[in-house]
Amino acid sequence: MPEMPEVETVRRTLAEKLTGCSIRHVDIKLPRLIKWPSANEFQAIITGKRILALTRRGKYLLLHLDNDIVVIIHLRMTGRLYYTTKNDKIDKFTRIVFELSNGDSLLYADTRTLGTLYAMPSEELWRISGLFSMGPEPLSDEFTEVYLVNVLKKSKSKVKAVLLNQKYIGGLGNIYVDECLAIAGIHPERTAASLNNLEITKLYGAINQVIADGIEHGGTTFRDYRDGDGKSGTHQHFLQVYGRKGLPCYRCGTPIAKAEVAGRGTHFCPQCQHKE
DNA sequence: ACAGGAACCTGATAGC
DNA sequence: TGCTATCAGGTTCCTG
């Protein structure tokens, strides 16, 4: 479900509430979501530990505990992480309950159960390949226009596939990729290597702008996504193309098209986003 | 090494 | 109404 702006919003809405709390008990209702170590060991090494910080890398959330263990959470398509007070009801999609020392709980809910959780010492985080091999994030110092030029020029893939690939850029997902290609006026089926310098400059600006706006608006809620307080984001009201199939392009009025590109449903304006 | 497609899951919605 | 097919904010594994 969530892309970087959604995960960052979850982090921001939870960090202050969780920092300083201890994990009193862990109730694992769906053990197969725990990828490392076993569910029993996972429970054992985090129970009774205090939360020092909640950080993020790309679409991963990292809960740092006072015994040097880090709980790594990836929400995948439909994962939700949110805070509840003792009287709140737990829905049927709640898969893991972290009971806190103050009586409240941190819930991990997930309808499609594709999410993943790990717990390991901080010096072993490199074992998680998705974290280890992740490229720079939009808005970071490492994500420069020169970097983007190099990534695109040496690729044989379509530009959409490159932007979705976390090893090149960490944090973009299907919605925001469609949005930044629309803003930059680039057709999603173009090969990455075919983009000229002006197009790459536009794309670079669009990536940073779209991600900054997404965070500013607390993420995009289409169906499942909620922040750490269980609230929806508002960026869905600002989307140019995603979810707008058949509706008029805001720039030229042409109906927005939808096609499969790089294995994903892809929205674009056939007039403003040229194939060459 | 790299690109493309299937697999992992469950639920909502569209179409018949 | 009820059944079936399709689609979904992601990543990893297997194949060619």
pLDDT at A17: 98
| A249 part of a folded domain | yes
Question: Is the same domain home to A120 and A198?
Answer: no
Domain count, chain A: 2
Domain carrying residue A194: 145-268
pLDDT at A219: 97
Can you give the length of chain A in residues?
276
In whole angstroms, C11 C1' to A74 CA is 10
State mean pLDDT over A254-259.
Answer: 95
Radius of gyration of chain A (CA): 20
Q: Is A137 a catalytic residue?
A: no
Q: Does the nearest atom of strand C lie within 7 Å of A87's Cβ? A: no
Question: Is the same domain home to A113 and A162?
Answer: no
In whole angstroms, B15 C1' to A62 CA is 43
Question: Is the same domain home to A214 and A105?
Answer: no
| A54 part of a folded domain | yes
Q: What is the pLDDT of residues A38-82, one digit of tens each?
A: 999 999 999 999 999 999 999 999 999 999 999 999 999 999 999
For C7, which residue's CA is nearest its C1'?
A: A265
Question: Is the same domain home to A126 and A166?
Answer: no
Q: Is A59 a catalytic residue?
A: yes
| A245 part of a folded domain | yes
Per cent of chain A over pLDDT 90 is 95
Model pTM score: 0.97
Question: Is the same domain home to A120 and A28?
Answer: yes
State mean pLDDT over A152-170.
Answer: 96
Query: At residue A276, does pLDDT exceed 90?
Result: no
| A276 part of a folded domain | no
Lowest mean pLDDT among A87-91, A163-167, A207-211: A87-91
Phi and psi, residue A120, nearest 5°: -160, 160
Question: Is the same domain home to A169 and A257?
Answer: yes
On whether the CB atoms of residues A167 and A137 are closer than 8 A, the answer is: no
Question: Is the same domain home to A152 and A249?
Answer: yes
Q: Is A123 a catalytic residue?
A: no
What is the residue type of A143? F
Question: Is the same domain home to A13 and A51?
Answer: yes
Q: Any idea what DSSP says for residue A56?
A: E
pLDDT at A40: 97
Query: At residue A148, does pLDDT exceed 70?
Result: yes
State mean pLDDT over A1-28.
Answer: 97
- The pLDDT-based confidence of A86 (bands split at 50, 70, 90) is confident
Question: Is the same domain home to A121 and A151?
Answer: no
Mean pLDDT of chain A: 96
Question: Is the same domain home to A103 and A150?
Answer: no
pLDDT at A1: 66
Question: Is the same domain home to A180 and A227?
Answer: yes
Query: CATH no. for residue A73?
Result: 3.20.190.10
- The pLDDT-based confidence of A3 (bands split at 50, 70, 90) is very high
Of A59, A158, A226, A244, which residue is the catalytic one? Answer: A59
Q: What is the pLDDT of residues A185-205, one digit of tens each?
A: 999 999 999 999 999 999 999
Residue where one domain finishes, among candidates A79, A110, A132? A132
Strand C within 7 Å of which CB atoms in A 90-109? none
Question: Is the same domain home to A94 and A188?
Answer: no
Query: At residue A102, does pLDDT exceed 70?
Result: yes
Q: Any idea what DSSP says for residue A21?
A: -
pLDDT at A231: 96
Lowest mean pLDDT among A84-93, A174-183, A187-196: A84-93
Residue where one domain finishes, among candidates A132, A165, A194? A132
Per cent of chain A over pLDDT 70 is 100
Count CA atoms closer than 13 A to A144's CA, side-chain side: 5
Count CA atoms closer than 13 A to A67's CA, side-chain side: 13
Closest CA to A192 of A179, A205, A177: A177
Query: At residue A266, does pLDDT exceed 80?
Result: yes
What burial letters (b/e) apply to A248-262, b meaning 16+ CB within 10 Å? ebeeeeeebbbeebb
Query: CATH no. for residue A182?
Result: 1.10.8.50
Residues with CB under 7 A from strand B: A 32, 77, 92, 111-114, 155-158, 161, 223, 262-263
Q: Does the nearest atom of strand C lie within 7 Å of A5's Cβ? A: no
Measured N-to-C along each axis, helices A197-216 and A145-153 cross at an angle, to the nearest 10 degrees, of 120
